[in-house]
Amino acid sequence: MWIADQWKDYALLDCGGGEKLERWGGHVLVRPDPQAIWECAHEHPGWKRAEGRYFRSSEGGGHWEKDRLPAQWQVKYRDLTFQVKPMNFKHTGLFPEQAVNWDFARERIGRAGRPVRVLNLFAYTGGATVACAAAGAQVCHVDAAKGMVGWARENARASGLEDAPVRWIVDDCAKFAEREIRRGKTYDAIILDPPSYGRGPGGEVWKLENDLFPFLKLCARLLSERPLFVILNSYTTGLAPSVLGYMLHLLVARKHGGRVDCDELGLPVEQTGLCLPCGATGRWYGA
């Protein structure tokens, strides 16, 4: 398991009973987590002093109880700064377990010794975009949601990267990739964080089980002659990390050589000393 254990402004304090207790900067939240199916004694004092809690509805969706929370606040990871806020469907705008992938990308970019072009697809609020830009890469950030792209630009600005060479694109990721292929554009690194299910701005339906392999096949055509890395994330329940690794072997490693690694992402739990699994990642990287 790749464990995101370098955080100072975030901590997973405890989890169980289908929930997790988290500290985001100076604020404590309780959010649902379908992986935390074990019993929880709720011995950590944070359970009683949480300032925000997300409750699921039996009819779908849910709501926050957050009278003591500000509308938004900042958290830092290393030299990066992110805006977080309670959103619909339990999210805060940041997935802290992805910090291990940010570190991996920064390390590969820093060691490249040459200009690096990164394509970040389904880029959300730009955690990976900001990390790659901080490492000196040129980044193309693509997401179908205009609000998420705006939030990502806020994160870049908060991290002192408002003038970094980032292209901010609001578009359906598959259509954008197809246009880039027609234009003859290539990238040295590609990061993909696709949803399990979604719709593009034109109503396009995305279902990961059906669309991920052909989409990765499409994106592989955008790799440069000397590609650096590909990161493929999944939060779809039941999709093993080795599935991501298998696809990267077929579509990237067969052509470019290099190495493929795959594993679960995890967050350390302060109360128990164990780790909560938080999705899966496959990584291809060149020699």
**Is domain 2-90 in CATH 1.10.3720.10, yes or no?**
no
pLDDT in tens, 182-216: 999 999 999 999 887 776 666 767 677 888 999 99
The whole-angstrom distance between residue 201's C-alpha and the CA centroid of its chain comes to 21
Distance CA 279, CA 37 (A): 15
DSSP 80-107: EEEEE---GGG--S--GGGHHHHHHHHH
pLDDT in tens, 217-251: 999 999 999 999 999 999 988 889 999 999 999 99
Q: Could you give the residue range(s) of every CATH 3.40.50.150 domain in the chain?
A: 96-285
Query: Phi and psi at residue 160, in whole multiples of 5°?
Result: 75, 25
**Is domain 96-285 in CATH 3.60.20.10, yes or no?**
no
| Residue located via tokens 């901590």 | 11
pLDDT along the chain (287 residues), means of 10: 98 97 97 95 95 86 88 97 93 97 98 97 97 98 95 98 97 94 98 81 72 94 98 90 97 97 98 96 94
Q: Could you give the residue range(s) of every CATH 2.60.40.1180 domain in the chain?
A: 2-90
The whole-angstrom distance between residue 35's C-alpha and the CA centroid of its chain comes to 18
